[in-house]
Amino acid sequence: MKLLEERIHEDGVVLPGNVLKVNQFLNHQIDPELMKQVGEEFVRLFQDEEITRIVTVEASGIAPAIMAGLLLQVPVVFARKSKSSITDQNAYTAEVYSYTKKVTNTISIDRKFLDPNDKVLIIDDFLANGQAVIGLLDICEAAGVDVVGVGIVIEKSFQKGAQLIKDRGVRLESLARIASFSENQVHFVEE
Ligand code: G4P
Ligand code: NA
Ligand code: NA
């Protein structure tokens, strides 16, 4: 997505450890107009699917997810994150290890917000090692819902998340795909 790549070039800050800071428009301040266009792009990419629900993780996945949900007129569910492993019988849970933050979080979704008849689109802001998305896929599997695909705003293609998702046979669409960083430069995957 051209506009998104331009915005990353303009406002993205490359930090040590291959981390891209995008606090100007996605992870702290949010640009609603850009998010609207992100939502439109997800809807265009998955237009042949009869999506009934969007699933994401708090916090930063919510903005892009809600824009897609608004356009598709379907509910948006965000998995909640907590530090301790919760034993809520009414929730589907998954353990998610963050390589970046070196912590394990439990993510959970109340059972009443996933129906076995659902066709789910998973959306998240970043795809790095893929642990958050894998956790969501595990939850969707436990709930017996059909996952039509995963939509990511920014994929770091040099990390293992993209391959892990494809290995599970799940369709992956990322709007910006980063091949590498150098100095303060972002290099996108050539189409
Ligand atoms: P993974 O889910 O792909 O395995 O990601 P990882 O554990 O490596 O990253 C943990 C958190 O850091 C996630 O956010 C993820 O979205 C984010 N992240 C990973 N790489 C980058 C990056 O290069 N830039 C930015 N800005 N974020 C990155 P989170 O902890 O779930 O936080 P949030 O959703 O509340 O923001
Ligand atoms: Na996220
Ligand atoms: Na994040």
Q: What is the ipTM of this complex?
A: 0.92
Give the residues across from 15 on adjacent strands. 19
Domain extent, residue 135, equals: 2-188
Look at residue 5 and tell me whether its pLDDT is greater than 90. Answer: yes
pLDDT at 188: 98
Interval 50-106: pLDDT, tens: 999 999 999 999 999 999 999 999 999 999 998 876 678 899 999 999 988 899 999
Report, as an integer, the average pLDDT of 43-48: 98
**Taking 80 as the threshold, does the pLDDT of residue 21 lie above it?**
yes
HSE (CB half, 13 Å, CA atoms) of 60?
19
Give the pLDDT of residue 88: 80
Which pLDDT does position 161 carry in this prediction? 98
- Could you list which residues have their CB under 5 Å from ion ligand 2? 60-61, 124-125
- Residue 15 alpha carbon, nearest atom of ligand 1: 23
Chain segment 111-163, per-residue pLDDT in tens: 999 999 999 999 999 999 999 999 999 999 999 999 999 999 999 999 999 99
185 alpha carbon to ligand 2 midpoint, in Å?
Answer: 22
Helix axes 2-11, 32-45, angle to 10 degrees: 140
For Cα atoms 184, 185, 190, give the angle at the middle one, nearest 5 degrees: 165
How many CA atoms does the CB half-sphere of 51 hold within 13 Å?
29
- CA–centroid distance, 165 to ligand 2, in Å, is 15
Could you identify the atom of ligand 1 that is nearest to the CA of residue 130? 3
pLDDT for res 86:
65
Overall average pLDDT of the 184-188 stretch? 94
Task: Enter the pTM of the model.
Answer: 0.96
Residue 12: which CATH number?
3.40.50.2020
The binding-site residues of ligand 1, defined as CB within 6 angstroms of any ligand atom, are 19-22, 27, 57, 59-61, 98-101, 125-132, 156, 161
The closest of 53, 62, 138, 66 to 97, measured between CA atoms, is 138
Contact status, residue 118 vs residue 53, Cβ threshold 8 Å: yes
pLDDT band at 4 (very low <50, low <70, confident <90, very high): very high
Number of domains in the chain: 1
Ligand 1 pocket test: which of 11, 66, 98 has the largest number of ligand atoms within 8 Å of its C-beta?
98
Q: Hey, whose CA ends up nearest to atom 36 of ligand 1?
A: 60
For ligand 3, the distance from its centroid to the CA atom of residue 27, given in whole angstroms, is 6
Position 168 pLDDT exceeds 80: yes
